[in-house]
């Protein structure tokens, strides 16, 4: 364990249990970074209130300080009973050296490994892949990368919206315009236009409407010709999705597709089993689950409808079949649903119903990782100027174009400039999505996400590229650096202390499913590095050999942390910028 905050938490806990008895070992030492020392522990105030003889908090703090024993630093009691804790330089250097020697930079692997099913991206083929799906894709992919790095078994599930009544009209429209034209349009990412044209026919033309309805029936009955047409439609659509995934550098592949259609054959049994166990009941002709605690505006129990009165199944039916499959067949310990926050109620009710049915045992968790809406600069749902939804490939192309323009004057040859423009443009979009907590709304703003200052993708990419250039200039291969790390200047100390927090942050991002914590950490790291670099020459002439070796090691460790962190976020790491 290298994280100073965790180390101190453990130490202070032991000391207070030693001073006041094991029954108080549950007290949270409340260790926080402080402006007066490295850390401050505030536990003495709350503990004083719990102790039977109500001692003064200052005395409680002193008793803890006295029992910290061979503590690797200094502890002072201050104010009403704060513990000001400063770690010794040797301790910091020693732990930084350990981290430096470890190819995983101290990040532990989860033992035993858990199976984490991550449901993300999940665009709808029958509607449009809109910017909202961009965010679920990017956040979900970062979580998948983090869990894999932590040694968990990750199963990606792309729950495509690839089934349902709209496919009747989509297939009829495909027949009307001809397969080649339809395929070309869908592959080009014009699914929305395709959908709207089909919808228009459906509303304007009675014959088309009748054909569309009949087509739904033949599709559901498994008619071979109709299924072939459905495949033609879906394959072209998936080729477009894959183009977006490739542009984004997202790790989803065709093997991860587990769309709604996959559950089709399980829906009848899903309903039958729920009815047989009494979990679902008939209500006004529809089969419903009434999970306790959910009521509508009229205070009546809220139904989760799993079979409509016309016999049709819905979104919830599929999700119940899916949860059962994920627990039973995929052996999920944890299921993360990275989906828009407007579906919160749906997931709460699905999870509750699955627990009632016994399909989601206590040993497994299902978590809705709520994704906040993406807004335009006007504060409204993100749209083009003319009010249409934005085509994702256009949006990403624009990001790359803007990045290209920003680096136009840096004298790179065409190929290098193109590579950097892609890395920076895509990196900016992804980092902007990730750096804001996933459940808050966020304003999509090209200008802001592409600036080179602040908590942005380009700033983080630049920070690591700058370290690479230090090594290039010094003619040193980062892999050949050995240290040892010694702490001299305050900026060296602050950088090393910051780096020690990396493993705990990665673990926490996995636990809490919050990639923005990693962004914040990397930003603080880049800032600490900047201060270090401004104050501590590394490869300049006249720097003593041992100082140079130590600083090179700090540079190499910072580079490794930044690079690993950006990889975990799925943000490209360009060599130079």
Distance (Å, whole) CA 179 – CA 164 = 21
Q: Which of 2, 40, 42, 124 binds ligand ARG (CB under 6 A)?
A: 124
Site string for ligand ARG, 132-161 (x = CB under 6 A): ---------------------------x-x
Distance (Å, whole) CA 431 – CA 418 = 19
Our measurement of the distance from residue 450's CA atom to the centroid of its chain's CA atoms, rounded to an integer in Å, reads: 20
Q: Which of 169, 339, 349, 569 binds ligand ARG (CB under 6 A)?
A: 339
Q: State whether the Cα torsion 277-282-286-292 is positive or negative.
A: negative
Q: Which of 394, 355, 349, 336 is nearest to 513 (CA)?
A: 336
* Closest CB 369 distance from ligand ARG, rounded Å: 11
* Closest CB 37 distance from ligand ARG, rounded Å: 47
Nearer CB in complex with ligand ARG: 347/446 = 347
Contacting range for ligand ARG; rule: CB under 6 A; set: 9-17, 118-126, 194-202, 371-379: 118-126
Distance (Å, whole) CA 374 – CA 340 = 10
Give the residue carrying structure tokens 């505006």.
297
* Residue 44 token pair: 């003495």
Nearer CB in complex with ligand ARG: 216/322 = 322
244 binds ligand ARG (CB under 6 A): no
* Closest CB 161 distance from ligand ARG, rounded Å: 4
Our measurement of the distance from residue 71's CA atom to the centroid of its chain's CA atoms, rounded to an integer in Å, reads: 37
Q: Which of 38, 319, 433, 514 binds ligand ARG (CB under 6 A)?
A: 319
Nearer CB in complex with ligand ARG: 159/334 = 159
| # binding residues, ligand ARG (CB under 6 A) | 9
* Closest CB 534 distance from ligand ARG, rounded Å: 47
Distance (Å, whole) CA 306 – CA 568 = 38
Terminal CA-CA length for the chain: 35
351 binds ligand ARG (CB under 6 A): no
Contacting range for ligand ARG; rule: CB under 6 A; set: 7-15, 89-97, 117-125, 371-379: 117-125
Nearer CB in complex with ligand ARG: 40/124 = 124
Angle at 459 between CA 458 and CA 463, to 5 degrees: 115
Contacting range for ligand ARG; rule: CB under 6 A; set: 116-124, 219-227, 230-238, 265-273: 116-124
Tell me, what DSSP letter sits at residue 390?
P
Q: Which of residues 160-219 bind ligand ARG (CB under 6 A)?
A: 161
Nearer CB in complex with ligand ARG: 226/370 = 370
Distance (Å, whole) CA 155 – CA 15 = 42
Contact present, 446 and 398 (Cβ < 8 Å): yes
Instruction: Give burial (CB, 10 Å; 0-12/13-18/19+) of 207.
Output: exposed
* Closest CB 293 distance from ligand ARG, rounded Å: 21
Footprint of ligand ARG on this chain (CB under 6 A)? 119, 122, 124, 159, 161, 319, 322, 337, 339
């Amino acid at each position: 364990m290298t994280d100073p905050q965790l180390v101190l938490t453990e130490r202070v806990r032991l000391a207070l249990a030693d001073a006041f008895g094991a029954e108080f070992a549950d007290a949270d030492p409340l260790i926080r970074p402080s402006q007066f020392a490295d850390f401050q522990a505030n536990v003495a105030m709350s503990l004083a209130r719990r102790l039977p003889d109500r001692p003064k908090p200052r005395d409680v703090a002193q008793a803890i300080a006295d029992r910290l024993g061979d503590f690797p630093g200094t502890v002072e009691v201050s104010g009403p009973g704060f513990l000001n804790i400063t770690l010794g330089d040797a301790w910091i250097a020693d732990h930084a050296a350990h981290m430096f020697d470890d190819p995983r930079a101290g990040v532990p692997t989860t033992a035993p490994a858990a199976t984490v099913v991550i449901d993300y991206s999940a665009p709808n083929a029958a509607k449009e892949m809109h910017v909202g799906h961009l965010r679920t894709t990017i956040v979900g992919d970062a979580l998948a990368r983090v869990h894999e790095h932590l040694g968990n078994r990750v199963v990606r599930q792309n729950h495509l919206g690839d089934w349902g009544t709209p496919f009747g009209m989509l297939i009829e429209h495909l027949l009307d315009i001809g397969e080649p034209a339809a395929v070309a349009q869908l592959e080009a990412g014009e699914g929305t236009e395709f959908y709207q044209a089909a919808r228009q026919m459906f509303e304007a033309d009675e014959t088309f409407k009748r054909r569309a309805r009949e087509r739904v029936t033949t599709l559901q009955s498994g008619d071979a010709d109709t299924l072939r047409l459905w495949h033609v439609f879906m394959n072209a659509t998936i080729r477009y999705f894959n183009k977006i995934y490739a542009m984004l550098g997202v790790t989803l592949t065709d093997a991860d597709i587990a769309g709604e259609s996959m559950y089709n054959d399980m829906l009848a049994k899903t309903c039958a089993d729920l009815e047989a166990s009494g979990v679902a009941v008939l209500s006004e002709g529809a089969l419903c689950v009434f999970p306790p605690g959910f009521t509508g505006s009229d205070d009546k129990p809220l139904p989760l409808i799993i079979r409509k009165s016309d016999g049709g199944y819905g979104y919830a039916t599929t999700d119940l079949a899916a949860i059962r499959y994920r627990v039973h067949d995929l052996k999920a310990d944890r299921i993360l649903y990275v989906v828009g926050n407007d579906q919160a109620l749906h997931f709460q009710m699905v999870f509750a119903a699955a627990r009632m049915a016994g399909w989601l045992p206590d040993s497994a968790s299902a978590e809705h990782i709520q994704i906040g809406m993406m807004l335009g600069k006007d504060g409204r749902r993100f749209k083009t100027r003319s009010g249409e939804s934005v085509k994702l490939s256009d949006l990403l192309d624009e990001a790359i174009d803007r990045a290209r323009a920003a680096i136009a004057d840096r004298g790179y040859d065409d190929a290098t400039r193109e590579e950097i423009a892609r890395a920076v443009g895509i990196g900016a979009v992804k980092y902007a999505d990730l750096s804001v907590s996933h459940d808050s709304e966020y304003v999509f703003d090209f200008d802001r996400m592409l600036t080179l200052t602040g908590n942005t993708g380009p700033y983080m990419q630049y920070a690591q590229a700058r370290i690479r250039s230090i090594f290039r200039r010094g003619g040193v291969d980062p892999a050949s650096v050995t240290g040892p790390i010694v702490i001299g200047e305050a900026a060296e100390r602050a950088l090393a202390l910051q780096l020690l927090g990396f493993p705990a942050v990665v673990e926490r991002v996995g636990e809490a499913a919050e990639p923005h914590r990693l962004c914040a950490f990397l930003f603080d790291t880049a800032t600490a590095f900047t201060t270090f670099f401004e104050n501590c020459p590394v490869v300049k002439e006249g720097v003593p050999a041992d100082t140079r070796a130590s600083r090179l090691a700090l540079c190499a460790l910072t580079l490794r942390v930044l690079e690993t962190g950006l990889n975990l976020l799925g943000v490209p790491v360009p060599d130079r910028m």
